[in-house]
A and B are shown apart, each in its own frame.
Chain A
Amino acid sequence: MTQSIFDKFQYYANLREDVARLDTNPFNVVVEQVLSETEAIVNGRRTILAGTNNYLGLTFDPRCIAAGRKALEEEGTGTTGSRMANGTYAGHLALERELADFFGLPSSIVFSTGYIANLGILSTIPGPSDVVLLDADSHASIYDGCRLGSAEVIRFRHNDPGDLDKRLKRLGTKAESALIVVEGIYSMIGDQAPLQEIVEVKRRHGAYLLVDEAHSLGVLGEHGRGLVEQAGVQEDVDFIVGTFSKSLGAIGGFCVSKWKELENVRYAMRPYIFTASSSPSIIASTRVALHILREQGAELRKRLWDNAHRLYLGLRELDFKLGPESSPVVAITLGESKEQALEIWHDLLDKGVYVNLVMPPASPGAGCLLRCSLSSAHSAVQIDAIIDAFRSLRNNILES
């Protein structure tokens, strides 16, 4: 039989067959009409969005929209070029300065997406003679950045400083130039890195440390700078990577650093060079969102965490298997049956609640996940409606 170039995608063909009997594919949900930060029309039905990472609810902030509209009219729809060529506008540089100022660090680079930020930094800074040690539950962008680079890549057990210590010891003197990579809040389960303990291990071996604050920027810390601020370890962290596509309600990524040498890396990063820069309207709305985070972040964070606690406690009362701590990311672990997970996810959607369905290998363990993410813009009534929808499926979830 002739081999096809598509044979290797049989797994995905089977998955498509599994979801074909549902009227909505969980991996291709169409938002037919956006109604607000927290509601949309999906499948013709008014639906509460409980899986959008819109932590501070800034996507409809009139100040962000006005800034984006002004930039759109004055600077056009796109830059049509690389940051290295014609794609660096005054706004890109202003955002870099404002990010550096926000973090109190000297160096800052803005990327077109958070994914590209990790790809650029991790494929370029660690070289062929270096070693990257990454938490096993790291985001795909971290794994992909390492794959694109030339360093040796070693995983350590999720949130296990002891395992990290053991692996650094095995490296001998190479540990001094090794780069440890962790996340502020892990995207799937919503748990936080034990950053103080990780910093102790880093100090002991003299390694470098990168913290990805994609899900913790604006969410953790007195000023919303993330887990690094909350844990009080900024002096020990070498690189902070983050995104504009969650708390800041737009799209884009960044890296800030205490090392002025980061500027030397800018034009060595292929993912930074060989892509078009962010559109002026995105940069403009992000700058205003960052300003709002600085001025009103505490108030937004309080609402977000109130919502997070309300959902976490509500779901815990239903005896679901949740992550270890209350978080704006709340994940319910189901069994290994993909069919059952699909049914439950679809039933939730039928009840007017959208959450993310996550299956292995994207989920950390062997089970499937129903992943919720909260927003400061959710009302208490909406949170209760989400809990009610889960309650009505309690038996199916517990038996999955």
Chain B
Amino acid sequence: MKRYQEILDALYEVLTPFANEANKQLSEETELVADLDIDSVRLLELLMEIEDHMDISIPLNVLPDINTVRDLAVSLQELSE
């Protein structure tokens, strides 16, 4: 099981280019769609990259509950258990 902070750091790394483009500061409260302007197609591609990196599969069922970076990190932590 990966530690929450470890997952969060990995997410910050992946999301930094989007934050730079949107001119936003990343935090746990950052909203993936509203703040980083990540559209649904790009979000699904991004999730596949994260899946490969963490060797997990993220069910589509969890996506409606993911709005912020924290939501995503918590989901990833649960899935990696």
Taking beta carbons and an 8 Å cutoff, which residues of A are in contact with B?
131, 136, 143, 146-147, 152-155, 157, 167, 170-171, 360-361, 365-366
A-B contact count (CB 8 A): 32
Contacts known (A136-B44, A361-B41); A154 close to B55, Cβ less than 8 A: no
Q: List 25 A-B contacts (CB under 8 A).
A: A131-B59, A136-B44, A136-B48, A143-B60, A147-B60, A152-B61, A153-B59, A153-B60, A153-B61, A154-B57, A154-B60, A155-B44, A155-B48, A155-B60, A157-B48, A170-B55, A170-B56, A170-B57, A171-B57, A360-B39, A361-B39, A361-B40, A365-B41, A366-B41, A366-B42
A153 vs B60: C-alpha distance when bound (angstroms): 5
If A152-B59, A361-B40 are given as contacts, then 15 extra A-B residue pairs at C-beta distance below 8 Å, sorted by A number, are A143-B60, A147-B60, A152-B61, A153-B59, A153-B60, A153-B61, A154-B57, A155-B44, A155-B48, A170-B56, A170-B57, A360-B39, A360-B41, A361-B39, A361-B41
Name B26-44 residues within 8 Å CB distance of A.
Answer: 39-42, 44
Task: Point out the residues of chain A lying under 8 angstroms from B55, CB to CB.
Answer: 170
Closest to A171 in B: B57
Task: Point out the residues of chain A lying under 8 angstroms from B56, CB to CB.
Answer: 170
Q: How far is the CB of B81 from chain A (nearest CB, A)?
A: 13
Is the CB–CB distance between B48 and A154 below 8 Å? Answer: no
Q: How far is the CB of B26 from chain A (nearest CB, A)?
A: 23
Q: How far is the CB of A295 from chain B (nearest CB, A)?
A: 43
Task: Point out the residues of chain B lying under 8 angstroms from A361, CB to CB.
Answer: 39-41
Task: Point out the residues of chain B lying under 8 angstroms from A152, CB to CB.
Answer: 59, 61
Task: Point out the residues of chain B lying under 8 angstroms from A147, CB to CB.
Answer: 60
Closest to A155 in B: B60
Task: Point out the residues of chain A lying under 8 angstroms from B48, CB to CB.
Answer: 136, 155, 157
Could you tell me how many residues of chain B have their Cβ less than 8 Å away from some Cβ of chain A?
A: 13
Task: Point out the residues of chain A lying under 8 angstroms from B42, CB to CB.
Answer: 366
Contacts known (A136-B44, A157-B48, A170-B55); A146 close to B39, Cβ less than 8 A: no
Task: Point out the residues of chain A lying under 8 angstroms from B58, CB to CB.
Answer: 154
Name B56-72 residues within 8 Å CB distance of A.
Answer: 56-61
Task: Point out the residues of chain A lying under 8 angstroms from B57, CB to CB.
Answer: 154, 167, 170-171
Q: How far is the CB of B41 from chain A (nearest CB, A)?
A: 5
Closest to B60 in A: A153
Among B48, B57, B59, chain A packs the most CB atoms within 10 A around the CB of B57
A109 vs B31: C-alpha distance when bound (angstroms): 44
Task: Point out the residues of chain B lying under 8 angstroms from A360, CB to CB.
Answer: 39, 41
A3 vs B74: C-alpha distance when bound (angstroms): 31
